[in-house]
Amino acid sequence: MTFSENIKVAVRSIRGHSLRTVLTALIIAFGIMALVGILTTIDAVKYYFNNNFAMMGSNSFTIRNTGLGIHVNSSGKKRKRFKRISFEEAMRFKESYPFPASVSVSAFATHLGVLRYKSNKSNPNISVLGGDANYIPNTGYELADGRNFSNQEQDQGYNVAVIGSEIRETVFDGEDPIDKQFSVGKDRYRVIGVLREKGSSMGFSSDKIVILPVRNVKYRFLGNDATYSITVRVEDVAQLDPAQAEAVGAFRVVRGDRVGEENSFEITKSDSLALMVIDQLKFITLAATIIGFITLLGAGVGLMNIMLVSVTERTREIGIRKSMGATSGHIKRQFLTEAVLVCQLGGVLGILLGILAGNGMSLLMNAGFIMPWLWIGVGIGICFVTGVLSGFYPAMKAARLDPVDALRYE
């Protein structure tokens, strides 16, 4: 029998046992959906972290008094927390840092700020922070309108502000906010710039932000126990490691760390969070693969049982085919083709459902549509192997039937 004839016979057999075929295909589809869906979601998560948490670029690092504090495994390692970085220490580092790089000093005033403009009032979810003129480019923001802080404004701590794009739409009702005044806390500030939109992901917005001169935040919002962050950005990513090494030495001097003692601060690269989480996604990938294989194992056993039942039911048919000249090889290929076809039908359905499920999560994260070509190929390959393994024993059993005994079978 030719390959096309095997396909035709397999299709007729599948139609004749449609209920069993549908149930088996659905089990296979569920396993493939779990595998492709989870792995597509992981691709979306990688895209999200690469484009959002690492949005400051790969050419900057930040000095803080504490680590990121994000635990992605069960190692039990606690984040280190050192004494606060004072404003004076941060400014001393900025002035003395010898490496050719852009240095900015910043501090958060509140994440629950409320802005008022005329009769409009924002929700208490505005991030208010202090930064200098280097803060905006160092952290990946761009100006859409207006300008950055002048030297005098940042040195004297004037009541001026750069606002996020979402604030322009909500608090200022879309009107031009430049040179308009709004209130935050007990003070009024004049808008001098508007940031370009970054968008929101997973419920968090980068556009609900107000940047004030860091000296203004120091005196208007923060107490003497506040801690500051220092961000260093180099133009060439190849200079990042030398710049970081230079920063360690310079800030150890500022902090008075003695020789032989550990650093009294933490340095994190701007993309370290993304790299950390992406690295840990391998465990989720392994778990998804195990879930998919366990489901496919159950589907394979079910398919083998169905094929064995099919061999029993079609014993006379096998005898007739052999009496008409069909060889054992023809019979074996026929049943293997049928098993593989059932698996591929379930696999195609599972792949489609997996793509929809994975991209549903991708849509929630604003990660765009992802076509997981790798996992589609893996799914098709797994279904083929499952069909061959599940159909091999029933096919061998059918091929070994004696044609005379088969014709006598009732």
Span 20-33, pLDDT tens digits = 778 778 878 887 88
d(CA 318, CA 335) in angstroms, rounded, equals 11
Nearest to 383, CA basis, from 295, 311, 307, 309: 295
d(CA 213, CA 169): 23
- In sign, the C-alpha dihedral spanning 191, 192, 197, 202 is negative
pLDDT digits (tens, 9 = 90+) for 182-200: 999 889 999 999 999 876 5
Nearest in space to 354 (alpha carbons), one of 34, 82, 11: 34
The 8-class DSSP code of residue 98 comes to -
Q: Report how far residue 104's alpha carbon sits from residue 214's, in angstroms, rounded to the nearest whole number.
A: 10
Helix 373-399 with 328-364: angle, nearest 10 deg: 160
For residue 363, which amino acid is it? L
Per-residue pLDDT, averaged over 397-407, amounts to 72
Q: DSSP class of residue 50?
A: I
Q: Are 64 and 85 in contact (CB under 8 A)?
A: yes
pLDDT in tens, 272-317: 656 666 666 777 777 777 777 777 777 778 778 777 777 777 777 7
**Maximum alpha-carbon separation in the chain:** 104
Percent of the chain with pLDDT over 90: 32
Q: Report the pLDDT value the prediction gives residue 274, as an integer from 0 to 100.
A: 60
| Element containing residue 399 per DSSP (H, E) | helix 373-399
pLDDT (average), residues 58-64: 85
Torsion sign, CA atoms 118, 120, 123, 125: negative
pTM of the model: 0.60
- Cα distances from 158 to residues 115, 209, 328, in angstroms, run 18, 18, 91
pLDDT tens digits along 321-344: 777 777 777 778 777 888 888 888
CA-nearest of 163, 199, 157 to 178 is 163
